[in-house]
C-alpha cells in the first residue's frame, strides 16, 4: 500500500511538472492580455478607511460570502495602524462589497489570472497608479487564519525586523547540493528600502501571470525571494527552517515526540514509510528521533513546518495556521490548544 501511494504521488508530481511547461512561455502573453483589459475587467471601490504609511494587501477568493475570520484579519491590521486593500479574485456580492468597503481603503475585484500573485500584483499596481507609495507593505492571502489570538504581536515583530523581505516562515529547498532559502508567500512584509526602490515596482510590473500552481511556487514564491536576494536585499522570518530542525533534534519529551510521529504518519504517507516500521518495532520516540536525525537534517522528514503537529508549530512561534489542513486543526481542537483564540477563528475551526 505504501509503495502504491508513493508511486501515485510521484506520477502526480510529474504530471504537475509537465502541465507547467507551456506556462513557462505563456505567462508573459497572459500578462499582456490581462493588462490590456484592466480598465474594463478590474473594479475598484473606494472604502471608508483612510490611507496610512503602512499598507496591507489581502487577497481573497470568497466562497459563500466573507468569512468572519477575514474581517478579524482586517480589523487586526487596522488596529496596528495599517490601511487595508482587499483584492478579490472573484466577483463580490453587493452586500460583501459594502461590508469590506466599511473596513478597508480599497476593494478591488479582478479576474483570477495568476492566482494569489496576480492579486498581489493588481493591488500593488493599483496603489502606485493612484499615487500611493507605502512606507512598508504587507501581503497576505486568505489561506491563513491570522491572527490566532487577539493580542498577537507578529505584526510588530515584522515591522521591527531589519530584513528587506520578511515573513512568517523562511523555508529552504536543496538544489544541486545547495540550500536555497525563500520566504513563504502566504505572508510577506517588504521594507521601506525595497518598496521605494525601482527594483520593487519593476518586479511586479513585469511579472508573468501563471495559471499553474506548480510553476507559481517555483517561479514566483521561491523566485521572488531569490530575485531580490540576487540584487542585495535580505530575507528573514519569524520561524527559520534551521530552527525547526534544531528544535526537533533537541526535543527530549518522549510523549510529545510520540504525538508528533503519530500525527506525521497520518499526514504524510511518504514520511510514514520511514516512521511506521520503527514504531511497529516498539522503538522509543527518542530512539526513533535519533535514528532518523539524518533525514530530519536533510528535510526529507518533517519537510513542511507549517503542516506539522499544531502543538509544535505554535510552540515555535508561528502566528498563523493554514485553513484547509483539516487534520491539523482537528488535532488542535482535540488537545484544547485553541483556548484563547480569536473567536471567529475558533468558531470556524470547530465547524
Judged by average pLDDT, the poorest of 10-14, 41-45, 250-254 is: 10-14
Question: Which of 214, 238, 262 is the last residue in one of the domains?
Answer: 238
Percent of the chain at pLDDT > 70 equals 91
Round to whole Å and give the CA distance between 335 and 329: 10
Total count of domains within the chain: 2
Asked whether the predicted pLDDT for residue 116 surpasses 80, the reply is yes
If asked whether residues 166 and 217 sit together in one domain, one would say yes
CA atoms within 13 A on the CB side of 143: 13
pLDDT digits (tens, 9 = 90+) for 225-261: 999 999 999 999 999 999 999 999 999 999 999 999 9
Residue 316 in domain: yes
Q: Give dist(CA 165, CA 229) in Å, integer.
A: 9
> The domain containing residue 170 runs over which residues?
23-238
Residues 106 and 205 in one domain: yes
| Residue 5 in domain | no
Residue 329 in this model has a pLDDT that exceeds 80: yes
Q: pLDDT for 151-160, tens place per residue?
A: 999 999 999 9
In a domain, 6, yes or no: no
Mean of pLDDT values over 297-305: 92
Report yes or no on 205 lying in a domain.
yes
pTM (2 d.p.): 0.91
Instruction: Tell me which of 210, 238, 266 is where a domain ends.
Output: 238
- Choosing from 238, 267, 286, the residue where a domain stops is 238
Let me know if residue 294 belongs to a domain. Answer: yes
Domain CATH code at residue 66: 3.90.550
Do 268 and 136 lie in a common domain?
Answer: no
Q: Quote the percentage of the chain above a pLDDT of 90.
A: 85
Mean pLDDT, rounded, of the chain: 92
Let me know whether 295 and 204 are in one domain.
Answer: no
- Whether 154 contacts 168, CB under 8 Å: yes
Q: What is the pLDDT at residue 180?
A: 84
Asked if the structure places residue 76 within a domain, the reply is yes
pLDDT at 117: 96
The rounded distance, in Å, linking the Cα atoms of 257 and 308 is 12
pLDDT for 173 equals 75
Same domain, 149 and 165: yes
Helix (H, G, I), strand (E, B) or coil at 238: strand
- pLDDT at residue 1 above 60? no
**Residue 140: inside a domain:** yes
Domain match, 138 and 118 both: yes
In the predicted structure, residue 6 carries a pLDDT above the cut 50: no
Residue 251 and residue 181 share a domain? no
User: Would you state the pLDDT for residue 216?
Assistant: 87
- 98 and 197 in a common domain: yes
Question: 239 CB contacts (<8 Å, ≥6 apart)?
Answer: 168, 169, 170, 305, 316, 317, 318
222 and 255 share a domain? Answer: no
Residues 337-341 have a mean pLDDT of 95
Using only C-alpha atoms, the chain has a radius of gyration, in whole angstroms, of 21
Tell me whether residue 18 is in a domain. Answer: no
pLDDT, one tens digit per residue, over 175-203 is: 665 668 999 999 999 999 999 999 999 99
pLDDT of residue 191: 98
pLDDT tens digits, one per residue of 314-324: 999 999 999 98
Model confidence at 214, pLDDT cuts 50, 70, 90, reads confident
Residues 259 and 274 in one domain: yes
Same domain (yes/no): 267, 343? yes
DSSP secondary structure letter of residue 170: E
The pLDDT of residue 10 is 43
- The residue-averaged pLDDT of 41-50 equals 98
* β-pair partners for 138: 56, 189
Is the same domain home to 159 and 303?
A: no
Amino acid at each position: 500500500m505504501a509503495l502504491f501511494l508513493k508511486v501515485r504521488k510521484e506520477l502526480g508530481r510529474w504530471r504537475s511538472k509537465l502541465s507547467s511547461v507551456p506556462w513557462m512561455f505563456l505567462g508573459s502573453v497572459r500578462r499582456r492580455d490581462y493588462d490590456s483589459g484592466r480598465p474594463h475587467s478590474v473594479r475598484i471601490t473606494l472604502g471608508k478607511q483612510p490611507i496610512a504609511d503602512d499598507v496591507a494587501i489581502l487577497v481573497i477568493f470568497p466562497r459563500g460570502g466573507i468569512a468572519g475570520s477575514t474581517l478579524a484579519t482586517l480589523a487586526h491590521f487596522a488596529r496596528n495602524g495599517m490601511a487595508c486593500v482587499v483584492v478579490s479574485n472573484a466577483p463580490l456580492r453587493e452586500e460583501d462589497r459594502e461590508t469590506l468597503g466599511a473596513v478597508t481603503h480599497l476593494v478591488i475585484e479582478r479576474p483570477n489570472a495568476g492566482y494569489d500573485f496576480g492579486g498581489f500584483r493588481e493591488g500593488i499596481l493599483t496603489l502606485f497608479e493612484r499615487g500611493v507609495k507605502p512606507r512598508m507593505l504587507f501581503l497576505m492571502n486568505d489561506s491563513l487564519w491570522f491572527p490566532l489570538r487577539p493580542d498577537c504581536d507578529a505584526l510588530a515583530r515584522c515591522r521591527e525586523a531589519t530584513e528587506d523581505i520578511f515573513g512568517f516562515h523562511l523555508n529552504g529547498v536543496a538544489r544541486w547540493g545547495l540550500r536555497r532559502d525563500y520566504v513563504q508567500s502566504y505572508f510577506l512584509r517588504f521594507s521601506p528600502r525595497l518598496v521605494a526602490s525601482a527594483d520593487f515596482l519593476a518586479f511586479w510590473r513585469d511579472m508573468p501571470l501563471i495559471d499553474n500552481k506548480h510553476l507559481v511556487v517555483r517561479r514566483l514564491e521561491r523566485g521572488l525571494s531569490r530575485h531580490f536576494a540576487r540584487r542585495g536585499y535580505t530575507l528573514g522570518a519569524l520561524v527559520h527552517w534551521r530552527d525547526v530542525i534544531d528544535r526537533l533534534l533537541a526535543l527530549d519529551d518522549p510523549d510529545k515526540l510520540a504525538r508528533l510521529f503519530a500525527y506525521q504518519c497520518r499526514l504524510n504517507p511518504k514520511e510514514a514509510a520511514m516512521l511506521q516500521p520503527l514504531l511497529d518495532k516498539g522503538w522509543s520516540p527518542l530512539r526513533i528521533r535519533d535514528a532518523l536525525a539524518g533525514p530530519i537534517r536533510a528535510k526529507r522528514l518533517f519537510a513542511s513546518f507549517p503542516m506539522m503537529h499544531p502543538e509544535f508549530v505554535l510552540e515555535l512561534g508561528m502566528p498563523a495556521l493554514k485553513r484547509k489542513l483539516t487534520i491539523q486543526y482537528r488535532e488542535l481542537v482535540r488537545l484544547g490548544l485553541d483556548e484563547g483564540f480569536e473567536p471567529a477563528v475558533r468558531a470556524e475551526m470547530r465547524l
